[in-house]
Amino acid sequence: MSKTSFGYVTLVGEPNVGKSTLLNQFVGTKLAIVTHKTQTTRSNLIGIQHRGDTQIAFVDTPGIFNPKTKLDQIMVKSAWGSIKYADIISLIVQPKSAQRSEISTVIRRLRRMDSNQAKRILIVNKIDLVKPSELLKMVEVFTKEMDFAKVFLVSAKTGDGIPDLLDWYGDNLPDGNWLFPRDHISSQSVQNLACDITREKLLIRLHQEIPYNLTVVTDQWQELKNNEVRIDQNIIVSREGHKAMVIGASGSCIKQIGIEARKDIAKLLGQKVHLFLRVTVRKKWMNDETRLGEMGIGMI
């Protein structure tokens, strides 16, 4: 019987460097929601990839930034908490990262960790956006700050460099039994994934501060006949004015969000989906630790 390997690979970095897009590339399907807005990922999400006798559990984490609300604090704590269990820590940066103070904070904290705990690698994402000469300068900046086991230049958007990175992960994980069944691609429940899909559509459609003041939870999930499912979701906002904007004139906004979300949820589940959305105002929900726990936000 051949040996099996298993390990956790944590993806960390500042907001909007492409961690979720990388996770989707690694597992070969759209698992994590992706938008052009920062702070899209709110909780750790594990995506599972199999390579021969090796099972890799990729942990996509919220971007690390200076927290203001209780929600922010939980997100950042969740990101750092995932590192405790990592076999490989992947620091994700992009061309603009070298000019941002947040990344220096991340590197300083990584430097304080025991180097024997996990291998630390640097992944420079979005290489399709800059010239090779600029990339070399950027790598030099980061490798002066910390000694990385390996440096990879990739584009999560185009897939460049991803095969070599996956091969390296597979070769550098410890021997061990698999933790997840072979047919699993995520640790998240389909209910949570479905809520994230709806939130993605809201993030893309809405503007300014509204996306960061809302969340989506499941009210009801009912399996029906003929491989169909009824899903009732509740969009929670913090202000009455935000509720009106989510609904839109004559319900136009929430109707379009429902159409787009239902399509992607059906693709995820492989079932016909009947999606029903409602909007509820809960003031200060972002600072209600009990409420956030009930929503599963920040769970490791």
Give tens-digit pLDDT for 60-80: 776 554 545 555 555 555 555
Residues of the chain with CATH 3.40.50.300: 5-171
Give tens-digit pLDDT for 197-251: 898 888 888 876 565 678 888 999 999 988 899 999 999 988 888 899 899 999 9
285: left (phi over 0), alpha (psi -120 to 50) or beta: alpha
- Read off the pLDDT band of 299 (50, 70, 90): very low
Average pLDDT, the chain: 81
Tell which wins on pLDDT, 119 or 80.
119
The CATH number given to 5-171 is 3.40.50.300
The CATH number given to 190-295 is 3.30.300.20
DSSP assignment, residue 174?
P
CB atoms within 10 A of CB 155: 19
Angle at which helix 252-269 crosses helix 190-205, to 10 degrees, equals 140
CB atoms within 10 A of CB 218: 17
Please report the pLDDT score of residue 9 as a whole number: 92
Residues of the chain with CATH 3.30.300.20: 190-295
pTM of the model: 0.69
Please report the pLDDT score of residue 300 as a whole number: 40
